[in-house]
Amino acid sequence: MSKKLILIRHAKSYWGKNGRSFYTGDDHERPLNDRGYKNAKSMYNYFIKNKINADFIFSSSARRAIETLFYLKNKNITKSGYKICKDLYTFNYNELAEFIKNIDNKYKNVIIISHNPGIQDFCLKYTNNKFNNKNFIHLKSKFPTCAVAVLLSNETEWNSSPKTGFILKKFITPKSISD
């Protein structure tokens, strides 16, 4: 495969003492909650153990995404570093696809940390191996916080990948790797 795209939904975020229904703060500034920190660390350990890495990481500028990135910006996971991108503070799969089309082709493998429903919708739209794929069945039913979709493309250029689609290789959730 020529390109590997690892999509990560940010870890679980804090909604305040009274919960989501009563949250009045700035959505962009919401931090991770205790479970979010724990899951991000678990996912980091899973990446290290399974030698999952990328040339570069792109993260949403939302605080919860940056705090998820904190665990993954390790030199054993990213070879060339990371960038925080306001364009990834999106919930729309079309905007995510446009971002992916503009990734520099010098990066063969990338990680993107962003938000739902954009990530799940992107996978639903651009996954080619949907049938008889247990990973796709799980992804279709729910894309929980801190979940990871590993997508592969035969394309050599990022701008072609969303057009031709991806093969869903793995779908990893915090629950699937917990002890």
Q: What is the DSSP string of the chain?
A: --EEEEEEEPPPB---TT-GGG--S-GGG--B-HHHHHHHHHHHHHHHHTT--BSEEEEESSHHHHHHHHHH-STTTBSS-EEEEGGG----HHHHHHHHHTS-TT-SEEEEEE-TTHHHHHHHHHBS--TT-HHHHHHHH---TT-EEEEEES-SSGGGHHHH-BEEEEEE-HHHH--
The string of pLDDT tens digits covering residues 97-120 is 999 999 999 999 999 999 999 999
Specify the pLDDT at position 162: 82
**Is it the case that residue 91 has pLDDT exceeding 80?**
yes
Could you tell me which residues come within 8 angstroms of residue 101 by beta carbon, excluding any fewer than 6 positions away?
A: 158, 159, 161, 162
State the pLDDT at residue 102: 97
C-beta of residue 15 within 8 angstroms of C-beta of residue 30: yes
Query: What per-residue confidence (pLDDT) applies to 1?
Result: 56
Q: How confident is the model at residue 179 (pLDDT cuts 50, 70, 90)?
A: low
Question: CB-based contacts of 93: which residues, under 8 Å, 6+ apart?
Answer: 117, 118, 119, 121, 122, 124, 125
> Does residue 2 or residue 20 have the better pLDDT?
2
Is pLDDT at 168 greater than 80 in this prediction? yes
pLDDT over 70, % of the chain = 99
**Residue 27 pLDDT class (50, 70, 90 cuts):** confident
In the block, residue with structure tokens 């979010």: 36
Residue range 115-163, pLDDT digits in tens: 999 999 999 999 999 999 999 999 999 999 999 999 999 999 999 988 8
Mean pLDDT of the chain: 94
CATH for 3-177, options being 3.40.50.1240, 3.30.1360.120, 3.40.50.720, 3.60.20.10: 3.40.50.1240
Q: Can you give the residue ranges of every domain in the chain?
A: 3-177
Residue 6 or residue 27, greater confidence: 6
